[in-house]
Amino acid sequence: MIVASVRRPGQTGAVDLPDGEPDCGPWRAVAVTELYAALGRPRVLAVDGRSGSGKSTLVARLAATVPSTAVVHTDDVAWHHDFFDWADLLLDGVLVPWRAGRDVAYRPPPWDARGRAGAITVPAAAPLLVVEGVGAGRQAFAPYLDALVWVQTDRAVATRRGLERDGGDVAFWDEWEARERPFLAADRPWARADLVVNGQDVRNELVEVGRGVPGLPAELRRLER
């Protein structure tokens, strides 16, 4: 597998982007409050990126700008099932019924098997459904998505965040990355992204949006200026 080392404006060191992922800069600062409208006010938005890239933080900020947004985390769908072989669960349990106008209250099979309480819920009337997680923007979901955001982050930064989040479990991180990297290298969700966000820091009111995405939608052309 190939790791591309690129240098971004304002950074003093190389940025590692594994497995053919291109540098999607240069970057332009955009208010988080502008992203939903800039994406064309989608009903279903996938936010994808490597583990530790900043997806959850970005989604929390974005969802707060659209009242009654429903968020589905792929980690909940995949819980005690498989790292990446869960596409049918999300499709059959969430995306297909919700697109058909039904309320969703879905319990993946391992939830019953292991006694996990609750359900993945998405009201039919939700104005926006955000699917967040590694693999949220995979090719199999394309017919059910209105927009896809890829969060691009330096591999070392993502690794540090992931280890901090997972209590420093290096063995688990290595196992995860050994599955994540070939999955993403094969699926290449960044190539289908409507927008790429720089995940180096997504905690602020402004985020950095990439201008190097091929086929940028007309609604986003203004961000190039």
Domain boundaries, the chain: 24-224
* Per-residue pLDDT band at 1 (split at 50, 70, 90): very low
pTM of the model: 0.87
Among residues 1, 29, 11, 47, which one has the least CA distance to residue 154?
A: 11
- Looking from the CA of 82 toward its CB, the CA atoms found within 13 Å total 10
| 82: number of Cβ within 10 Å | 11
pLDDT, tens digit, 9 for 90 and up, residues 14-65: 678 888 898 887 888 889 999 999 899 999 999 999 999 999 999 999 999 9
195-216 pLDDT tens trace: 999 988 888 787 888 754 444 4
pLDDT at 219 over 60: no
Structural contact between residues 55 and 149, judged by C-beta atoms closer than 8 angstroms:
no
- What residue spans of the chain are helical by DSSP H? 32-38, 55-63, 74-78, 87-90, 96-99, 109-113, 155-165, 170-187
- The residue whose two tokens read 């905690």 is 203
**pLDDT higher than 60, residue 225:** no
Residues 6+ apart with CB under 8 A from 82: none
The yes or no reply on domain 24-224 and CATH 3.30.70.20 is no
For 123-169, the pLDDT digits (tens) are 999 999 999 999 999 999 999 999 999 999 998 998 899 899 889 89
Phi, psi of 182, deg, nearest 5 = -65, -30
pLDDT at 185 over 60: yes
CB within 8 A of 15, min separation 6: which ones? 5, 6, 7, 8, 23, 154
CA distance 19 to 135: 15
Residue 18 contacts residue 181 (beta carbons within 8 Å) = yes
What would you measure as the largest C-alpha separation in the chain, in angstroms?
53
31/188 Cα distance (integer angstroms): 27
Strand partners, 4: 17
Closest CA to 63 of 131, 124, 119, 120: 131
